[in-house]
Amino acid sequence: MRTLRYLLQKEFRQIFRDPSILRLIFIMPVIQLIILPFAADYEIKNIKLAVIDHDHSSYSRNLIAKIASSGYFILTNYNGSYSEAMNKIEHDKADLILEIPASFEKELVKENESKLFMAVNAINGVKAGLGSAYLRSIIQDYNKEVRTEWIQFPRFDPETNIAVTYSNWFNSSMNYKIFMVPGILVLLLTMVGANLTAINIVREKEIGTIEQINVTPVSKVHFILGKLIPFWILGLVVFTLGLGIARLFYGITPAGNIFTIYVFAAIYLLAVLGLGLLISTYADNQQQAMLISFFLMMIFILLGGLYTSIDSMPSWAKAITKANPVSYFIEVIRMVVLKGSGLADIKSQLLTISGFAIVLNGWAVLNYHKRS
């Protein structure tokens, strides 16, 4: 016990004497949490639209005014030729082209139907898809307006209509930040936990201090606990800091019990620290440790369900996410923050992540040798 106390004391002394570690632990997460959620926005705005109006009629002007006033589009080019508009797309000055034929108004009045042409720059798939969908729904809306203007509807609609109204459960205003911020917090915790542990131990290897420790009677378990406990505490401090920022900057208060989140975070951290420990037993220097953890982190982030929904992944990718601790915590934190889930609801995730903690730490302990 006395040995462990001394190991912990030494570890904390070293951490608090290293200004770069403190910066890494505290300033990095704060800045990332403040900046990232604003930038990692799902909504597509500021779509640059080039309109080629061959008609110059009041109908075409109305249509353009309606599109421009929607807030999603910026009219960058008007009244050119199609080739001119295409040129804009090639120079990335336009994302969408809407061509209104010369006979737009005439045909609409005479034939009761008219055609529009839409060309989309599909380099950014998300922007192209959402942009054209927005434009289509605005045009449809316009279409309906024109119809009501002309046709005196009978008292009872001859067509059968299904009217759909909807309400958003758990995130009534569909605020994506409520959805993103907890997820980003999970990623930060993962990075801080795994990287710091891995690099800390590998640094002892590099400097040679681990060799000096290895010839002492300090047991493997004491040595590893002496490394895990400080970073476990630091991880929870960072997590608390992150929750504070979520509340302060984004007004996010968990719908569920904060205690539930902490229980999960505490076990999750054990798993992540075990991962860091495992990396450190395989890496010989800090560079290797960094590269291994970068490699894992990329997979964890992209297959973690933060940016893309796991449910829409192909089945093999879904299988990989089962081995990704990050995906469990993102799921849990969203459940608790948005839906108010309790410990009973997250039982299966809690058990899985405990399994991760046991396997990763066990593997690391087995793989850590005091002699070669």
Partner 1 sequence: MTAVKINNVVKTYGKKKEITALSDISFSVSKGELFGIIGPDGAGKTSLFRILTTLLLADNGNVTVDGFDVVKDYKAIRQRVGYMPGRFSLYQDLSVKENLNFFATIFNTSVEENYELIKDIYSQIEPFKDRKAGKLSGGMKQKLALSCALIHRPSVLFLDEPTTGVDAVSRKEFWEMLKRLKEQGITILVSTPYMDEASMCDRVALIQAGKILSINTPQGIVETFGKKLLAVKSTDMLRLLHDLKQCEEVQDAYPFGEYHHAVMRNDSKELLRSYLEQRGQSFELKEAEPNIEDCFMALMKTS
Applying CB under 8 A, the residues found at the interface with partner 1 are: 2-3, 6-7, 10, 13-14, 17-18, 207-209, 211-218, 370-372
Measured CA to CA, the distance from residue 60 to residue 80 in angstroms comes to: 15
Measured CA to CA, the distance from residue 269 to residue 189 in angstroms comes to: 8
Residue 10 or 115 having the CB closest to partner 1: 10
Residue 127: CB minimum distance to partner 1, A: 49
Element (H, E) at 229: helix 220-250
Residue 361: CB minimum distance to partner 1, A: 22
- Please give the DSSP secondary-structure letter assigned to residue 370: S
Residue 200 or 327 having the CB closest to partner 1: 200
Element (H, E) at 97: strand 96-100
Q: Is 314 helix (H, G, I), strand (E, B) or coil?
A: coil
Full DSSP string of 19-56: HHHHIIIIIHHHHHHHHHHHHS--S---EEEEEEESS-
Residue 286: CB minimum distance to partner 1, A: 15
User: Quick check: 240 and 258 in contact, CB under 8 A?
Assistant: no
Q: Is 166 helix (H, G, I), strand (E, B) or coil?
A: coil
Residue 92 or 211 having the CB closest to partner 1: 211
Residue 18 or 345 having the CB closest to partner 1: 18
Residue 287: CB minimum distance to partner 1, A: 19
Residue 288: CB minimum distance to partner 1, A: 19
Can you state the angle between helices 2-17 and 220-250, rounded to 10 degrees? 50
Residue 2 or 155 having the CB closest to partner 1: 2
Residue 3 or 62 having the CB closest to partner 1: 3
Residue 18: CB minimum distance to partner 1, A: 7
Residue 203: CB minimum distance to partner 1, A: 10
Q: Is 125 helix (H, G, I), strand (E, B) or coil?
A: helix
Cβ contacts of 67 within 8 Å, gap of 6 or more: 49, 51, 73, 75, 98, 135, 138, 139
User: Quick check: 353 and 264 in contact, CB under 8 A?
Assistant: yes
User: Quick check: 99 and 119 in contact, CB under 8 A?
Assistant: yes
Residue 220 or 247 having the CB closest to partner 1: 220
Residue 212: CB minimum distance to partner 1, A: 5
Residue 7: CB minimum distance to partner 1, A: 7
Measured CA to CA, the distance from residue 134 to residue 118 in angstroms comes to: 12
Residue 6 or 117 having the CB closest to partner 1: 6
Residue 216 or 253 having the CB closest to partner 1: 216
User: What string of H, E and C letters represents the secondary structure of 280-292?
Assistant: HHHCCCHHHHHHH
Measured CA to CA, the distance from residue 223 to residue 281 in angstroms comes to: 13
